[in-house]
C-alpha cells in the first residue's frame, strides 16, 4: 500500500504519517465512559468518530487491538480532584448501590453503542477490576520519587517532570491550562497546583462505598491511574493511538502521560486523537450541566440512531459540531434520500473489478486522510452517479459501509416502494401516529393553528400527511 494513514496528532499539533510500533499492528486505547448516568449524544459523537478511526485502520489492513476502560470509581465532579464522587452522586440520585449504578449504565452504554453501530472494543475493563495493578504502579512511582504522601493521600509530583504540559505548544502558559479547570477550591496537601491524586485514603466522603486495602491505608484510586494501568495490561508498554474527547487533553491525558512515562522510563504513546465537542446553543453538551440528549430521547422523538451517526459523519471530527433538531432533521432527510437512491439502484450485472478498485481507492484515500468522513461520503455519492452497473455500485457501497457502518444496503433493501410506510422504523411510526392523533384532537377543538403547526413539524421531518376520505394517510417524502 503506497498511501499511508495520516492523522492529526495533538502531541505535535501536526498531521503525521501514521507508523505503528509493530508492522501491520495497531494498539489503540479509548477513554471509556463514567457510568453514573446515560452517555449523552456528545459523548457518543466521540465514540462514533473513534469507531470510524478503528474501522478505517482495519479497512486499510491493520490488525487492530482496541482497549477501553469503564470508569466506575474515583472520578470526582471536578477534574482537580475536588467535588463529589460522580458514582456516589448517581447512587444517591437513584437510591441504588454504586455497583448497581455502574452495571445499569454500562448496559445502557452498550445498548447505545449497538444502536449506533459502534463496535464494542476487544477489551473493556472496569476500573474496579484492576485495583492491584493501580497499587503496583503507585508503589513504583513512590519508589522512583515521582509521588509523595500528604494528608493521607498519594499525589503525583508534577514538578519532577521537565515537560509536564506535553500538549502545550509552548506559546500557552501553564496558567492557561490551569484555567481550564472549573474548580476553585485548592487542596492544601498538594505541593504544586497541578499535582494529582493517585490514591485517596483520607476520603472526603464518609460514605464512600467502594474502598480497598492498600499500603497507604484503606481508600480508592484517583481517576487518571486507571487508563495508564488498563492500557498497559492489554497493550503493553508501547501504545500506538490514544483517543478521547478534547476535554480529556488536560488534565486527564496530560496526567496519564506523566504517570505512565515516569513509571515506564520511556515514551508511552505516539499518537493522540481527540474529537471536538458536540455543542448545542448553550455550549458544550455535558452531563453536569444537565443539557443532555440521549439516544433514547432521539428514539422517542422518532429519529433513527443511525441518522445521528450520519449527521456526525458529515462533519470532520476536529471541528466543533453544533447540534439542533433542525440540523438533525436535515441529516435525516439526507440519509433517507441516500437510502432511497441505493434502493433504486438495481443489482444487475457483475462486479466490474477495475471500477471497484478505482472507487475503493478513492474512498480509502479520503478516509485515511485524517479520517475525512465528509470526503468519504462524497465518494459514496460519486459511486451512485458513476457510469457503471448496479451490482458494482452496491458492492462498493457495502464495502464503504465497513467503515461508515450505516447499514446502507440492509436499510435500502428494506425500503418498500413509494407510499408504503411498512419499512419505516418503529420509533418514527409511533412518533408520526402520535402527532396525527394530536392533530386530529386540535382540529376537533377548532385549533387550526396547532393542527397546521403539527403538519409543518412532520413536514420538517420529511413526513407528508394527506387528509383522505379513509382518514389521514402519510408517507416519507
Ligand atoms: P465521560 O463519560 O464524561 O468520561 O466522557 C466520555 C467521553 O466523551 C470522553 O472521551 C469525553 O472527552 C467525551 N465528551 C464529553 N463531552 C463531550 C461532548 N460534548 N462532545 C463530544 N465528546 C464529549
Ligand atoms: Zn482515560
The residues placing their C-beta within 5 Å of ligand 2, an ion, are 31, 227
- pLDDT tens per residue across span 207-216: 677 889 999 9
Expressed in angstroms and rounded, the spacing between residue 365 Cα and the centre of ligand 1 is 28
- pLDDT tens per residue across span 41-51: 999 999 999 99
- pLDDT tens per residue across span 70-128: 999 877 777 667 677 888 888 889 999 889 999 999 999 999 999 999 999 999 999 99
Work out whether strand 25-30 and strand 239-245 pair parallel, antiparallel, or are unpaired: parallel
Cell 496530560 -> residue:
254
- pLDDT tens per residue across span 263-280: 999 999 999 999 999 998
Atom 23 (ligand 1) nearest CA: 43
- Domain range summary for the chain, segments of one domain joined by +: 6-275, 319-414, 426-476
Of 417 and 418, the structure prediction assigns the larger pLDDT to 417
Q: State the pTM of this model.
A: 0.88
Quote the pLDDT of residue 178: 52
Residue 243 has pLDDT above 80, yes or no: yes
Nearest to 75 by CA among 33, 135, 46, 40: 33
Atom 5 (ligand 1) nearest CA: 33
Cis peptide before 251 (omega within 30 of 0): yes
Q: Does domain 6-275 have CATH number 3.40.50.620?
A: yes
Atom of ligand 1 nearest to the CA of 285: 19
Cβ neighbors of 405 (< 8 A, separation 6 or more) are 51, 52, 55, 117, 118, 119, 309
Grid cell locating 22? 509493530
Q: Is 396 close to ligand 1, i.e. is its CB under 6 Å away?
A: no
Q: Which CATH class is domain 319-414?
A: mainly alpha
Expressed in angstroms and rounded, the spacing between residue 46 Cα and the centre of ligand 1 is 7
Nearest to 50 by CA among 72, 35, 70, 66: 66
Amino acid at each position: 500500500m503506497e498511501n499511508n494513514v495520516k492523522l492529526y496528532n495533538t502531541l505535535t499539533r501536526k498531521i503525521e504519517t501514521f507508523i505503528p510500533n509493530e508492522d501491520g499492528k495497531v494498539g489503540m486505547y479509548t477513554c471509556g465512559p463514567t457510568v453514573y448516568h446515560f452517555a449523552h449524544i456528545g459523548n457518543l459523537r466521540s465514540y462514533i468518530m473513534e469507531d470510524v478511526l478503528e474501522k478505517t485502520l482495519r479497512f486499510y489492513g491493520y490488525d487492530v487491538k482496541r482497549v477501553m476502560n469503564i470508569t466506575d470509581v474515583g472520578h470526582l465532579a471536578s477534574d482537580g480532584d475536588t467535588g463529589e464522587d460522580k458514582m456516589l452522586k448517581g447512587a444517591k440520585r437513584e437510591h441504588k448501590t454504586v455497583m448497581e449504578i455502574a452495571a445499569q449504565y454500562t448496559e445502557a452504554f452498550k445498548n447505545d453503542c449497538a444502536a449506533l453501530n459502534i463496535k464494542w472494543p476487544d477489551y473493556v475493563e472496569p476500573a474496579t477490576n484492576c485495583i492491584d495493578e493501580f497499587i503496583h504502579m503507585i508503589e513504583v512511582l513512590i519508589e522512583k520519587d515521582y509521588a509523595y504522601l500528604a494528608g493521607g493521600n498519594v499525589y503525583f509530583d508534577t514538578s519532577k517532570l521537565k515537560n509536564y504540559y506535553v500538549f502545550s505548544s509552548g506559546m500557552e502558559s501553564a496558567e492557561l491550562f490551569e484555567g481550564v479547570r472549573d474548580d476553585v477550591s485548592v487542596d492544601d496537601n498538594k505541593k504544586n497546583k497541578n499535582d494529582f491524586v493517585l490514591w485517596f485514603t483520607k476520603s472526603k466522603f464518609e460514605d464512600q462505598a467502594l474502598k480497598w486495602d492498600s499500603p497507604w491505608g484503606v481508600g480508592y484510586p484517583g481517576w487518571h491511574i486507571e487508563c495508564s494501568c488498563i492500557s498497559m495490561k492489554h497493550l503493553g508498554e508501547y501504545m500506538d493511538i490514544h483517543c478521547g474527547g478534547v476535554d480529556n487533553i488536560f488534565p486527564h491525558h496530560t496526567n496519564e502521560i506523566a504517570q505512565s512515562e515516569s513509571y515506564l522510563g520511556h515514551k508511552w504513546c505516539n499518537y493522540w486523537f481527540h474529537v471536538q465537542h458536540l455543542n448545542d446553543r448553550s455550549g458544550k453538551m455535558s452531563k453536569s450541566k444537565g443539557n443532555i440528549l440521549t439516544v433514547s430521547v432521539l428514539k422517542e422523538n422518532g429519529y433513527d440512531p443511525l441518522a445521528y451517526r450520519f449527521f456526525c459523519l458529515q462533519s470532520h471530527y476536529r471541528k466543533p459540531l453544533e447540534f439542533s433538531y433542525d440540523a438533525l432533521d436535515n441529516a435525516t432527510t439526507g440519509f433517507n434520500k441516500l437510502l432511497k437512491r441505493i434502493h433504486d439502484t438495481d443489482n444487475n450485472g457483475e462486479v466490474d473489478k477495475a471500477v471497484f478498485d478505482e472507487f475503493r481507492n478513492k474512498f480509502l484515500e479520503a478516509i485515511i486522510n485524517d479520517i475525512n468522513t465528509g470526503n468519504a461520503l462524497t465518494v459514496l455519492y460519486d459511486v451512485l452517479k458513476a457510469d457503471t452497473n448496479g451490482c458494482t455500485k452496491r458492492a462498493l457501497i457495502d464495502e464503504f459501509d465497513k467503515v461508515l457502518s450505516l447499514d446502507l444496503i440492509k436499510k435500502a433493501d428494506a425500503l418498500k416502494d413509494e407510499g408504503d410506510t411498512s419499512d419505516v422504523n418503529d420509533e418514527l411510526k409511533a412518533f408520526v401516529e402520535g402527532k396525527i392523533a394530536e392533530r386530529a384532537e386540535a382540529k376537533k377543538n377548532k385549533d387550526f393553528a396547532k393542527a397546521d403547526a403539527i403538519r409543518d413539524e412532520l413536514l420538517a421531518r420529511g413526513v407528508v400527511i394527506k387528509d383522505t376520505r379513509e382518514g389521514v394517510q402519510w408517507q416519507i417524502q
